[in-house]
Chains A and B, each alone.
Chain A
Amino acid sequence: MPRVLLIEDDPSVREGVELGLRRRGHEVRTASTGEAGLAALREFRPDLLLLDLMLPGMNGVQVCRKVRDDSQLPIIMLTARGDDFDVVIGLEAGADDYIVKPARTEVIEARIRAVLRRIEEPGSGRPVVEFHGELAVDRAGLTVAKNGERLALAPSEMKLLLHLTSAPEQVFSRQQLLEHVWEHSYHGDARLVDACVRRLRNKIEDTPGSPRYIQTLRGFGYRFGPL
């Protein structure tokens, strides 16, 4: 079962979520501030970070950036609906997904599972490493390299890239991507997709302003290529 680090300042939420997840078999460590959370991160080595956005002192977005500096640890933000601005900033800072509080434990666990789930292995007959332009995508090893140089992709970025490259030149709507990559409902937040595409472009495109790999079809969605 995955090891989860929960950074949350409100004691009732902290305790409630910890209790709920632990009963479902997760190993949970909690921290009440960003600073304490970052310290626990090095020592606890979690598989996933549950991060409240509104923290005293160092806030959730700052913690998120700090973590992303040297790690591709899956990050799910905890937020309250209405703090919309923070959601976008958190997503830009590199969070993979977010959960709106209050949430039942089953919802939280489903999101944890979705973020941690590996993208489906390609069917037989496909090469393990695919080349798209200067990009080399290793579906088995889950690595992406550009011009031989390995790129550090967050889990959501990796899954999005794998999903798009599995059917090059096919257009996927935001809703389809939400369903397949994030396992959200069809009516989920399309900003999740947009933020992830922006982050991915910054890493793989030569000029993110005029993308070559991940192209936008206005009114329809995104597609990989054609190169």
Chain B
Amino acid sequence: MRLRRTAGERRRPFGLRTRLVLAFLLVAAVSAGTTAALTFREARNAVLGTAQDTAVASFREQVQQLGMELPQDPTGLQDVLRDIARKGKPHPWYVYAEYGSIRASSAAAPTSTVITPELRRTARSNPHGSFERVVKDGVPYLTIGMPAVFRAGANRVMPTGLVLFAVMRMSEEQAGVEALVVAARDGALPGLAIALVPALVAARSVLRPVRELRKAALSMGSGRLDTRIQARGSDELADLARTFNESAGQLERSVDELQQAEARARRFASDVSHELRTPLSGMLAVTEVLDEEAERLDPDTARAVRLISAETGKLAVLVEDLMEISRFDARAAELNTDEVDAAETIRKTLEHRRWTDRVRADLPEGIRARLDPRRFDVVVANLVGNALRHGGAPVTVRLRTAAGGDGTALLVTEVADSGPGIPPEVLPHIFDRFYKADAARTRSAGSGLGLAITLENVRLHGGTVRAANGPEGRGAVFTVEMPLRVGEAVA
């Protein structure tokens, strides 16, 4: 049998492989990202911190050196500022001074647009000065505000009211930080790419055993119970494979035992019927002698003799039915088909059993079907016989053709009676062997195998038989559907 391609075999968008690869990449990205971010932050702070510490310290020193000799006129002040501007560390800076309304600077413009009011405020209030990093038009600046103070005692300083500001471009530091970002990114991307390789390898090593397991399970499901998986290594998947193999072995053993037990039971039933048949053949040949002689015997002996004769006949029917059933069970039943006129076949069944005046037949002419005439006779006879025994008159046999679900032409035979119908609890068991609808009823006229044999015969023809109750629950209706198979080669 070919393995069917089931839904599971498709490549799923979020299958195990995709999820494993995504998980690996995610872990790699997070660790690379975190490392890069932490490194970046520390490095950036180190670079910027060093630069601004140097700048603030050197600016404070410059301002302190001014002392009290600060010129009060803007031009003089400007000279001083230019002098300070030349000593900018670590980069050149512009220096601005504010005193009351006086504004002076080492640059062309007397005031700078980079200095924020916030810095102005804190620079005035804090005698040690204050600084701020500002980004203007994409250029980073360090701005430092430093009040000029004079010593008013041992531990006291007084502000002079003059505040000096330094503005320094931090382009170099910015370039250094940007280089750090690029380095972090360039390091992380190949890392991610390299992480793909172990991800795919891991996915493969997981998926291969999973695929093998799936194939093996499918194969088991289709009946090959000797399917086993090669268990490699000692990981959890190998354990799973070994467990699968052990379970498969146990399943195979128990199925095997069941099959053997079933075969034994069937063989036994077949052997018993076989052994019964030989003595019955002899007995059945002489029942006539008993029947004829019974008249001349005394009444008790005559009754006993007639009983033996009658029961021998029933026993022969039962044994024949048992043999028939065991042939079906052993799949040894043969279908000897011939193309026949369906109406004629049913009519002959009714005539042969002298049922024509008790059964209404609705048999359209001209329906030809390929079937086993003997087995079809058994089917119709069992159904009509059943209807006459358990149902009520009138019994009707109807014949028609229909199209099956897959378009095959079907021969439909319907046997309906006018009795009380079949109780709903009996319906599912009506074709069971030896099923007794009424537990109190000890034995019916038939062998108790009639409907079971009917079912098997219909199945052998590739057909179905079902039992139901007619409209308004009046009367049982048995419907047999068999393929017409007209025009097929002679079997």
Please report A residues at the B interface, Cβ cutoff 8 Å: 10-17, 19-20, 23, 80-82, 84, 101-106, 108, 173-175, 185-191, 218-220
Contacts and interface: CB of A to CB of B under 8 A. Distances in A.
Given A20-B286, A81-B323, A187-B377, A220 B336 contact: no
Contact of A19 (B274, B289, B373): B289
Interface stretch (B204-212, B226-234, B275-283, B468-476): B275-283
Contacts of A218: 339, 490
B282 A190 contact: no
A21 B155 CA distance: 153
A105 B341 CA distance: 32
Contacts of B286: 16, 19-20, 105
A187 B349 contact: yes
9 contacts: A12-B281, A17-B285, A19-B289, A20-B285, A80-B274, A81-B323, A82-B323, A103-B285, A104-B285
Chain B contact-residue range equals 35 or more
A23 B278 CA distance: 21
Contact of A188 (B280, B283, B285, B373): B373
A103 B320 CA distance: 11
Contacts, number: 111
A179 to B, nearest CB: 8
A175 B373 contact: yes
B107 interface: no
Instruction: Give the one of B284, B376, B377 with max A CB within 10 A.
Output: B284
A104 B287 contact: yes
Interface string B236-257: 0000000000000000000000
Contacts of B297: none
Nearest to A12: B282
B285 A84 contact: no
Contacts of A174: 338
Contacts of B280: 102
Contact of A103 (B284, B338, B370, B486): B284
Most B CB within 10 A of own CB, among A82, A105, A218:
A82
Given A106-B288, A188-B373, A16 B340 contact: no
Given A84-B334, A185-B352, A187-B345, A13 B285 contact: yes
Contacts of B277: 80, 101-102
A173 B369 CA distance: 13
B487 A13 contact: no
B349 A105 contact: no
A187 B348 contact: yes
A189 B337 CA distance: 10
A104 B373 contact: no
Contact of A16 (B284, B349, B370): B284
A131 to B, nearest CB: 31
B320 A81 contact: yes
B385 to A, nearest CB: 15
A16 B283 contact: yes
Contact of A12 (B278, B288, B368): B278
Given A188-B373, A219-B487, A175 B340 contact: yes
A10 B275 CA distance: 12
Given A15-B282, A104-B285, A189 B374 contact: yes
Nearest to B338: A190
B336 A190 contact: yes
Nearest to A85: B334
A189 B374 CA distance: 7
Given A82-B332, A104-B288, A13 B281 contact: yes
Interface centre among A13, A81, A188 (most CB of B within 10 A): A13
A187 B285 contact: no
B348 A186 contact: yes
A129 B275 CA distance: 52
Contacts of B282: 10-17
Contact of A23 (B288, B327, B374, B376): B288
Best-surrounded residue of B282, B287, B316, B352 (most CB of chain A within 10 A): B282
B85 to A, nearest CB: 120
Nearest to A176: B344
A105 B290 CA distance: 12
Contacts of A14: 282
Given A12-B278, A19-B286, A103-B285, A187 B373 contact: yes
Nearest to A191: B336
A108 B281 CA distance: 12
A188 B344 CA distance: 14
Contacts of A220: 339
Contact of B316 (A16, A102, A105, A185): A102
Given A13-B282, A175-B345, 6 more contacts: A12-B282, A102-B280, A102-B283, A103-B284, A105-B288, A187-B373
Interface string B312-344: 010010011001100100001010101111001
A220 B370 CA distance: 10
A212 B319 CA distance: 45
Contacts of A84: 334
Contact of B345 (A12, A20, A105, A186): A186
Contact of A185 (B313, B336, B348, B490): B348
Shortest Cβ-Cβ A-B pairs, 10 listed: A12-B282, A16-B285, A16-B282, A186-B348, A187-B377, A102-B281, A219-B339, A102-B284, A187-B373, A101-B281
A23 B287 CA distance: 12
Contacts of A175: 338, 340, 344-345, 348, 373
A108 B339 contact: no
Nearest to A22: B289
B154 to A, nearest CB: 132
Given A84-B334, A185-B348, A20 B278 contact: no
Interface string B344-357: 11001100100000
